């Protein structure tokens, strides 16, 4: 059946920042992610580098601010000629305001100013939710740290 959804009117909308601090062997206390393989050498843009993360989600740009959620999952780099990556992860909300998760996957087309991934499901407060997660790179410090602005727009809410 064909239902229509007004893209400009999500039933829920969040906007916050995801922080990733890559483990470098010495920064156990601060690190939020770690590469589990070294890239196989296809091109010069980390093709195949696979990173698992459990990073904070904050309302402002400071990674030390109190997190409103956590993002748990993985990303890997997947392009020969430029930086490009792919994500699959869960937003875990565990606060008085929200309790539940959102499951997200898709291509992070890093050379695009904004790029959309799919919210493929939700649990708890976000039971059976679906929608779009829009990524915007906010800060990228090579292999050390990056910050992505995530706009989560749910179009199916129950």
Piece of the chain touching its own copies by CB under 8 A; list 12-20, 58-66, 120-128, 140-148 = 120-128
Distance CA 21, CA 12 (A): 29
Between 92 and 147, CB nearer to its own copies: 92
Q: Is 136 a residue that touches its own copies (CB under 8 A)?
A: no
Report the residue count for the chain: 158
Percent of residues in the chain assigned helix, strand, coil, to nearest 5: 0, 55, 45
Q: Biggest alpha carbon distance in the chain?
A: 55
User: 74: alpha, beta or left, given left = phi > 0 and alpha = psi -120 to 50?
Assistant: beta
Q: Is 157 a residue that touches its own copies (CB under 8 A)?
A: yes
Residues that bind its own copies (CB under 8 A): 1-5, 7, 11, 23, 25, 28, 31, 34-37, 39-43, 47-48, 50, 52-54, 72-74, 76, 78-80, 84, 86, 88-90, 92, 100-101, 103, 105-107, 109, 116-124, 127-128, 130-132, 155-158
């Amino acid at each position: 059946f064909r239902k229509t959804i007004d893209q400009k009117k999500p039933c829920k909308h969040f906007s916050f920042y995801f922080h990733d601090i890559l483990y470098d062997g010495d920064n156990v206390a601060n690190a939020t992610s770690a590469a589990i393989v070294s890239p196989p050498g296809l091109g010069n843009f980390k093709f195949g580098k696979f990173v698992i993360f459990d990073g904070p989600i904050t309302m402002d740009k400071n990674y030390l601010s109190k997190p409103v959620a956590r993002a748990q999952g993985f990303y890997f780099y997947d392009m020969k000629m430029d930086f490009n990556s792919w994500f699959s992860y869960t937003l875990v909300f565990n606060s008085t305001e929200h309790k539940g998760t959102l499951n997200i996957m898709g291509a992070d087309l890093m050379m695009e100013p904004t790029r959309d991934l799919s919210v493929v499901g939700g649990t708890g407060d976000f039971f059976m939710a679906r929608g779009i997660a829009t990524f915007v790179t906010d800060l990228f410090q090579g292999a050390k740290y990056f910050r992505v602005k995530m706009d989560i727009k749910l179009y199916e809410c129950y």
